[in-house]
Amino acid sequence: MTAAVLNFSAVALGWIHAYAPAAEAAIALSLILVALGAPDAERQAVWQGPLIALVFGLVHGLGFAGALSEVGLPDRAVASALVGFGLGVEIGQVAFILVVMAAPARTAFVPRVALAGSYLVGITGAYWLWQRLWVCFA
C-alpha cells in the first residue's frame, strides 16, 4: 500500500482531519510546482520523479478524501467504497498514460503542446492558489 493510499483512507475515514481550504491551497501549489518543473523534466535527477509523484499523491489524496467525505461513505460498505474510488482513480491515470504514450513523440507538435499544457496548469494553479489563500486568511 502506498503512502498516498494510506493518507487518502485516513482522511476519508476521519482519522486525520485537514482544513479543506488549506488542502486545496496545497493542491494548487503542487500544480504550480509541477508546471514549473515540466520544461526541465529531462534534466531532473532519477530520484526527483518518484519524490514528486509521492508528494503529489499525498497532497491530492487530501483533496480526493475531503470530497469523498463530503459526499459521504456508506456505513456498511466503507472499505468497498474506498477501494472502488481508489481503483477508479488508478484506472483513469493508466488510461491517460496510455493515450499520452500512443501520441507520436517525435513530432515538433508534441513538445509545443506539452509546454502549452504546463503553462495552462501553472496559470490555473496560481489562480486557484490565490482563491484558496484568500479563503484561508480572510
Burial of 65 (0-12, 13-18, 19+ CB in 10 A): buried
State phi, psi for 68 to the nearest 5 degrees: -65, -40
Q: What is the pLDDT of residues 28-62, one digit of tens each?
A: 998 888 888 766 666 666 667 777 777 777 787 77
pTM, two decimals, is 0.69
Tally of domains in the chain: 1
Range of the domain at 70: 3-137
pLDDT at 13: 75
What integer pLDDT is reported at residue 130 of this predicted model?
A: 93
pLDDT category at 105 given cuts 50, 70, 90 is low
